Amino acid sequence: MSVGDLTWFGIAGAQPQTDVATMLWERSRIGSAGVVALTDPDGNLMGIVTESRMERVPEDQRGTTSLGSLMVPAGNLARSRPDESLVYALARVSPLMPVLTVWTDNRLVGVVPTEWLRTRIATH
């Protein structure tokens, strides 16, 4: 099985100063993204925030909590390619940040959601 078989290609984008309440509202309006990619003003990837992490912020703090304060820096992400064996890619995933990012031509194109990995592992 390849990484691409489990990749979600619907990544949302935002600036680090965007607050959690705004991003969750956007998500409810346009659909789940699983992960939000945070970029600097020049469009360079700074890091990501998972929706599950945003949802753990207490409701009364969501309007004042920035995505940047929850971000996992780009350098700390497990990277893979869509055509890579899932088994080999999983060896790079940290239990502290169990998200596998998917890259093509040095550009983030998707993620393998943790929930999808758990489901796949449980059924095989």
Tokens of 80: 């893979």
Q: What is the pLDDT of residues 16-60, one digit of tens each?
A: 999 999 999 988 776 666 789 999 999 899 999 988 899 999 999
Q: Rounded CA gap, 47 and 68, in Å? A: 8
In this predicted structure, what is the pLDDT of residue 33?
Answer: 61
pTM: 0.81
Determine phi and psi for 36, rounding to 5 degrees: -115, 125
Range 92-110 average pLDDT: 87
Q: Measuring CA to CA, which residue among 69, 21, 23 is closest to residue 46? A: 69
Q: Measuring CA to CA, which residue among 67, 22, 61 is closest to residue 47? A: 67
Domains and CATH numbers, the chain: 3-122 (3.10.580.10)
In this predicted structure, what is the pLDDT of residue 115?
Answer: 76
